[in-house]
């Protein structure tokens, strides 16, 4: 499946499309349609349920998108939030220098200086991808979106949600019983003026982040009270030293602590992130890895930085969808220096500025990854085999025919499941086979069909999207059966099998 195929299905079925399309669109901006919105919200709610429940002291907040200039002076964004750019001398097309080199040489060059990038372009005679023209020298461009607020206030759209947490740290610490560790999460928009946004939802100018900032005592980073629960859990790691071999290694959390000299507090959260992807979302483990960033690649304030990556064949291999960053006390100290507000806390008889561990996820990238990783083409159908808990709808309900009191009975079944908070799609048009195919193509995990037998014995058929197997289930048991199915139960265990002759 190609990237273009994903875009075609996304537009035709209603997952996402380019924003302001009727005016020609604007590069790097996408609108979520009805199916994409449903799936994105499910991913966000799954993230909330998993990560905010790692501790009773983790909470979600919601902060503004527009912040005053001093916030980003303190955070370092005004000085350091830049990308290397290169312009074509002929057609004036602009590209990110490291990306254009990566596309030509099939390696990652993030973190190199403009001079180093310029030398590579000249050495390999890299040309403009649009007109094959010669490229100018590499320069830099700040990625912030500036705004004027009122008559004389300089402000910016936030380039990350994290600063909304840091400027609220003091008030939240005071209201949350003044104890550590505690975490503050935000799911919200961020804005970056990307030079050449591409790959659909993977690189956008307006995008959604899900981030959890965990504040803790730096003297306790070598331990975590629940580390014993993950000590033997194997992590899929791609350390810097394995790049020349292109080798993913599996180390238990204990081994990662000892061999890679990573603190237990950090490794515990690596394990939880991996469990989110492998155990909850059901990503095949061979498609997931943590990639360690080198000193040249990671931000200066990150002491440890491992990215979560998923293998996406259409985009050329493993691609970043999030990261686990140990940001030390850089952010709070920066805001203390500029705002002159004290960020020191008094905990366990000591005064110190807390350190921060950040779990950061690109929501849009995760949605795109689901569409690429779970698309299949079979002999008679194309379908998305989305994880059942992340499909746009939990199930579809079909009346077999629009007569004989079957539509009325179908409405009763729909109301029953809707009242139980299942998300339902109701379809009564076309042949039953065509309706099944429509639901397969948008990834709905199961279909409930109301037929003449339903009127006789109060049973319905429950059809599995992936295997296309069907069972009959009592309506009174349907709620429990559907819940078990969405949690991963095999269809055969939920009712009496329907034979081919009965379908």
Residue 465 and residue 440 in contact, taking contact as beta carbons nearer than 8 Å: yes
Distance of alpha carbon 427 from alpha carbon 446, whole angstroms: 13
Residue 185 and residue 211 in contact, taking contact as beta carbons nearer than 8 Å: yes
Q: Which domains does the chain have, with CATH numbers?
A: 15-72+145-368 (3.30.930.10), 82-142 (3.30.40.230), 375-502 (3.40.50.800)
Provide the b/e sequence for 170-183 (b: ≥16 CB within 10 Å): beebeeeeeebbbb
Ordered per-residue pLDDT tens for the chain, 503 residues: 578 889 999 999 999 999 999 999 999 999 999 999 999 999 999 999 999 999 999 999 999 999 999 999 999 999 888 888 898 988 988 888 888 998 888 887 877 888 889 989 999 999 998 899 999 889 888 889 999 999 889 999 999 999 999 999 999 999 998 999 999 999 999 999 988 888 999 999 999 999 999 999 999 999 999 999 999 999 999 999 999 999 999 999 999 999 999 999 999 999 999 999 999 999 999 999 999 999 888 888 899 999 999 999 989 899 999 999 999 999 999 999 999 999 999 999 999 999 999 999 999 999 999 999 999 999 999 999 999 999 999 999 999 999 999 999 999 999 999 999 999 999 999 999 999 999 999 999 999 999 999 999 999 999 999 999 999 999 999 999 999 999 999 999 999 998 865 65
Distance of alpha carbon 71 from alpha carbon 331, whole angstroms: 10
Element (H, E) at 13: helix 3-13
For 254, other C-beta atoms within 10 Å of its C-beta total 16
pTM of the model: 0.92
């Amino acid at each position: 499946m190609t990237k273009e195929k994903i875009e075609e299905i996304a537009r035709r079925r209603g997952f996402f499309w380019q924003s302001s399309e009727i005016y020609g669109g604007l590069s790097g901006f996408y609108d979520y349609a009805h199916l994409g919105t449903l799936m994105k919200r499910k991913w966000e709610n799954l993230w909330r349920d998993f990560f905010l429940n790692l501790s009773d002291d983790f909470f979600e907040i919601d902060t503004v998108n527009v912040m005053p200039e001093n916030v980003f002076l303190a955070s370092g964004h005004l000085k350091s939030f830049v990308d290397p750019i290169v312009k074509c001398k002929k057609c004036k097309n602009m590209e990110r220098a490291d990306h254009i080199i990566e596309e030509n040489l099939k390696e990652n060059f993030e973190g190199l200086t403009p001079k180093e990038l310029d030398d590579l372009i000249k050495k390999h005679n890299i040309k403009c991808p649009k007109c094959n023209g010669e490229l100018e020298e590499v320069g830099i461009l700040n990625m912030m979106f500036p705004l004027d607020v009122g008559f004389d206030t300089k402000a910016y759209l936030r380039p990350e949600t994290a600063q909304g947490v840091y400027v609220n740290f003091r008030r939240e610490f005071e209201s949350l019983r003044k104890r550590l560790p505690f975490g503050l999460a935000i799911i919200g928009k961020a804005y970056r003026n990307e030079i050449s946004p591409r790959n659909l939802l993977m690189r956008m100018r307006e995008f959604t982040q899900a981030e959890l900032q965990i504040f803790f005592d730096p003297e306790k980073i070598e331990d975590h009270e629940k580390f014993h629960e993950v000590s033997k859990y194997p992590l899929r790691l791609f350390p810097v030293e394995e790049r020349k071999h292109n080798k993913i290694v599996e180390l238990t959390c204990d081994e990662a602590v000892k061999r890679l000299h990573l603190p237990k507090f950090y490794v515990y959260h690596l394990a939880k992130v991996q469990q989110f992807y492998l155990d909850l979302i059901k990503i095949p483990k061979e498609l997931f890895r943590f990639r360690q960033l080198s000193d040249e690649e990671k931000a200066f304030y990150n002491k440890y930085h491992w990215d979560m990556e998923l293998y996406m064949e259409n985009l050329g291999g493993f691609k970043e969808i999030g990261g686990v960053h140990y940001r030390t006390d850089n952010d709070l100290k920066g805001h203390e220096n500029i705002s002159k507000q004290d960020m020191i806390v008094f905990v366990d008889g000591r005064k110190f500025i807390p350190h921060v561990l950040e779990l950061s996820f690109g929501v849009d990238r995760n949605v795109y990854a689901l569409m690429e990783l779970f698309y299949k083409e079979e002999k008679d159908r194309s379908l998305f085999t989305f994880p059942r808990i992340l499909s746009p709808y939990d199930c579809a309900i079909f009346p077999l025919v629009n007569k004989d009191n079957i539509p009325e009975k179908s409405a009763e079944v729909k109301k029953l499941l809707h009242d139980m908070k299942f998300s339902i799609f109701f379809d009564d048009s076309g042949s039953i086979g065509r309706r099944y195919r429509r639901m397969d193509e948008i990834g709905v995990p199961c279909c409930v069909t109301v037929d003449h037998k339903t009127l006789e014995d109060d049973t319905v058929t429950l059809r599995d999207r992936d295997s296309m197997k069907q069972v009959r289930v009592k309506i009174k048991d349907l709620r429990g059966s559907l819940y078990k199915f969405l949690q991963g139960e095999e269809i055969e265990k939920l009712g009496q099998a329907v034979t081919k002759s009965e379908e």
